[in-house]
Copies of this chain bind each other. A is one copy, B any other.
Amino acid sequence: MSDTKAPWITYRPELKVLDCTIRDGGLINNHQFTDEVVRAVYDTCIACGVDYMEIGYKNSEKSFPKAEFGAWRHCDEDDINRLLGDHDSETTGLKLAAMADAGKCDWKHQIAPADQSKLDMIRVAFYAHQVSEAVEMINHAHSLGYETMANLMAVSNITDCEIDTVLDNIKDTPAGTMVIVDSFGHLYREQIDELYRKYSTAMEGTGKEIGIHAHNNQQLAFANTIEAIILGSNRADATMAGLGRGAGNCPMELLLGFLRNPKFHLRPVLQLLQDHIHPLRETVTWGPLIPYNITGQLNLHPRNAMQYIDSDDRDDYVKFFDEITRD
């Protein structure tokens, strides 16, 4: 008999999965999803055993005009009630969440008290220099009755000292989770390890969980997600078919195949993919394409790659590489 354990065939019941298909996927289509698709993702989240569904952004109409952006960029209570008015987190086991961006959310007015909303959680997303506003936002959402999470974005291009200062500020907030966010899909396994150690050490004794939100520029979103889980992360983000900005996210169909909690089911996800998600490829493009491999390797925002993939030069990888490495 082997003297080692096989943790990959067991599970931690406290590990929870968050689906952010509509929220992150909306960054490639200005959240112009049909109600049918959003509802199908919601129904699938329940059927497959996911714990949270992030249905969109609570961002301001001033930054994102309604003429241009769909309902899930703002998550007005009217829209939530129209589509998910029958939602009950108790009976479904699914909590609804929305993300609020520091600097882009009119949070003092835009977030209703939790007892008047179908939402259970507000995730506050922010860059390091916005941490002071993020702390105010977390405190505000908490005072309204929401569970909260803190998403420090683009962690791969700030200094250790800046990260430490953010963690120090978040530590004393009521945020239930501090999320490792690899916005550019740049991080390798050893860097995830470093960040996990840093985040978990900083949050020690607070009861906060460590989350993971990975992007797939280098085909590492799933690998980095399970790496964080192996180390101890109990909150993991994924999206159906990896739908998300640029290279996309950790694919739900891979994550659920890894998790051994029998409450998770793969089959409903496959049904959703063939019925609703893969047909989106007729109008939008995502996944670890070569230009995204390159921006990931170079630790760059994917925006140049997104523009390139929309251009007629999309298959000329060398030209993209030359342009982006010239300076």
- A residues with CB within 8 A of B: 2, 4, 6-8, 160, 188-191, 194, 216, 218-224, 226-227, 230, 251, 253-254, 257-258, 266-267, 270-271, 273-274, 278, 290, 293-294, 296-297, 315-318, 321-322
Q: How far is the CA of A295 from the CA of B296 in the complex (A)?
A: 28
Q: Which 5 A-B pairs have the closest CB atoms?
A: A223-B223, A257-B297, A270-B317, A270-B318, A219-B219
Given the known A-B contacts A257-B297, A271-B318, are A188 and B2 also in contact in the complex, defined by CB atoms under 8 Å? no
The interface residues of chain B lying within 8 Å CB-to-CB of A219 are 216, 219, 221-223, 251, 254
Q: How far is the CA of A227 from the CA of B190 in the complex (A)?
A: 9
CB distance from A280 to the nearest CB of B (A): 13
Q: How far is the CA of A290 from the CA of B293 in the complex (A)?
A: 21
Report whether over half of chain A's contact residues are helix, strand or loop; otherwise say mixed: helix
The interface residues of chain B lying within 8 Å CB-to-CB of A227 are 189
Contact A194 B273 (CB under 8 A): no
CB distance from A270 to the nearest CB of B (A): 4
The interface residues of chain B lying within 8 Å CB-to-CB of A190 are 6-8, 230
Q: Which of B221, B270, B296 touches A290 (beta carbons < 8 Å)?
A: B270
Given the known A-B contacts A8-B190, A188-B8, are A318 and B267 also in contact in the complex, defined by CB atoms under 8 Å? yes
Task: Indicate the member of A219, A257, A278, A294 with the most B CB atoms within 10 Å.
Answer: A219
Q: How far is the CA of A257 from the CA of B291 in the complex (A)?
A: 12
Task: Indicate the member of A226, A254, A258 with the most B CB atoms within 10 Å.
Answer: A254
Contact B160 A2 (CB under 8 A): yes
The interface residues of chain B lying within 8 Å CB-to-CB of A221 are 219
The interface residues of chain B lying within 8 Å CB-to-CB of A297 are 257-258, 266
The interface residues of chain B lying within 8 Å CB-to-CB of A278 are 315
CB distance from A100 to the nearest CB of B (A): 30
CB distance from A174 to the nearest CB of B (A): 30
Contacts A219-B254, A273-B317 known; 17 new A-B pairs at CB < 8 A: A8-B188, A188-B258, A189-B226, A189-B227, A189-B230, A190-B230, A218-B254, A218-B258, A219-B223, A220-B223, A253-B290, A257-B294, A257-B296, A257-B297, A270-B290, A271-B318, A274-B316
